[in-house]
Amino acid sequence: MKIRSSEITPEHVYLARPSRRAFLKLALAAAGGAGLVACAPPAAPTLVGPTPAADGQTDELGDAVNRFEDIVNYNNYYEFTTDKAGVAGLAAGFTTDPWTVEVSGLVNKPKTFGLEDIRQAFTSEERIFRLRCVEAWSMVIPWNGFSLSEILNQVEPTSDARFVKFTTVSRPEEMPGLSNPLYPWPYTEGLRLDEAMHPLTTVATGLYGRDLLPQSGAPIRLVVPWKYGFKSIKSIVKIELTAEQPATLWNTVGPSEYGFYSNVNPEVDHPRWSQASERRIGEISRRATLKFNGYETDVADLYAGLDLAANY
């Protein structure tokens, strides 16, 4: 167990900050993201110590952000290892530059973005989101990123496009976990197009005001805050617009345990454990899991009329 009690977040000493609910409202109204609080330019990446940029902040519910050390030393990234405490070490030398992201499929203007194109074309802002893993632990992470819709609008999905498929880089020489035969590599994920266009669906290139470290999905990853963490696919090299629902790694491995939607839902248990509560990293007692991970007012409309137990 990597998180020691000495590292427990002293929540009660954090200063009160303005509610982040205002941020969400703005984000939804603006849709394009204009007018939001821009984050400071990423500091030069360093490997140790929290930055004052996000330390002490809270999400819109008043929950303290997790410590930087916790966020970058307790990771799921199976391409490296299934040991959460071992990812950071194995991923330390991972090559993230140069990097390109191909956006293709059912679009009018397919485009391959270099990382610099992305940094220049889209303005990152700080977005503090809860991350709720399907394994029933959670963190609050201050990401730096922008809405995926900004990329999708540039490439112009055609009227046939209904889903978006994401693919992680596959580099066996740098990713020892790829030799694990239990998984259908490369890691893939998918969203319905309307989910992908939702302003909360975020492309992150940083956290705590600095560039993502490899273990967090450098140089570019997805963050879908109302879905279980495995939907937030790391180190993306391809984004494809499709007509059919794409196969995803977890849905392929265990369709009865990991549905395509995977919306956080305390009322629908995993077949092998309850999803009603969770362990927030840095806290002792468990806390109740919130429907749609607390983003219900923002996203419930996407699922109007859908049976969430059948469409888990």
Ligand X SMILES: Nc1nc2c(c(=O)[nH]1)N[C@H]1C(S)=C(S)[C@@H](COP(=O)(O)O)O[C@H]1N2
Binding site for Mo ion (CB under 5 A): 76, 133, 229-230
Measure the CA–CA gap between 74 and 87, rounded to whole angstroms: 8
Binding of residue 75 to ligand X (CB under 6 A): yes
Residue 295 interacts, among Mo ion, ligand X, none and using kind-specific CB cut-offs from 5 to 8 Å, with none
* Pattern 200-219, ligand X, x by CB under 6 A: ----------------xx--
Helices (H), the chain: 21-30, 68-71, 87-91, 115-121, 148-155, 193-197, 249-253, 296-299
Task: Please check whether residue 144 is in contact with residue 128, taking contact to mean a CB–CB distance below 8 angstroms.
Answer: no
Residue 260 interacts, among Mo ion, ligand X, none and using kind-specific CB cut-offs from 5 to 8 Å, with none
Measure the CA–CA gap between 277 and 162, rounded to whole angstroms: 33
For the CB of residue 78, give the shortest distance to Mo ion in the complex, in Å: 10
For the CB of residue 84, give the shortest distance to ligand X in the complex, in Å: 8
- In terms of CB distance, is 64 or 106 closer to ligand X? 64
* Pattern 4-43, ligand X, x by CB under 6 A: ----------------------------------------
- In terms of CB distance, is 97 or 257 closer to Mo ion? 257
Chain centroid, CA 172 distance in Å: 23
For the CB of residue 26, give the shortest distance to ligand X in the complex, in Å: 25
For the CB of residue 145, give the shortest distance to ligand X in the complex, in Å: 13
Residue from 288, 281, 286 nearest 65 by CA? 281
Binding of residue 68 to ligand X (CB under 6 A): no
Measure the CA–CA gap between 280 and 267, rounded to whole angstroms: 19
Task: Please check whether residue 143 is in contact with residue 128, taking contact to mean a CB–CB distance below 8 angstroms.
Answer: yes
- In terms of CB distance, is 209 or 229 closer to ligand X? 229
Measure the CA–CA gap between 90 and 166, rounded to whole angstroms: 23
Among 65, 88, 115, 133, binds ligand X (CB under 6 A): 133
For the CB of residue 75, give the shortest distance to ligand X in the complex, in Å: 3
For the CB of residue 131, give the shortest distance to Mo ion in the complex, in Å: 8
In whole angstroms, how far apart are CA 107 and each of 21, 41, 172, 188? 34, 31, 30, 19
Binding of residue 168 to ligand X (CB under 6 A): yes
Among 78, 94, 146, 295, binds ligand X (CB under 6 A): 78
**Residues near 177 by Cβ (< 8 Å), separated by ≥ 6?**
77, 78, 79, 80, 81, 82, 90
Query: Where does this chain bind ligand X (CB under 6 A)?
Result: 75-79, 131, 133, 168, 187, 216-217, 229-230, 232-235
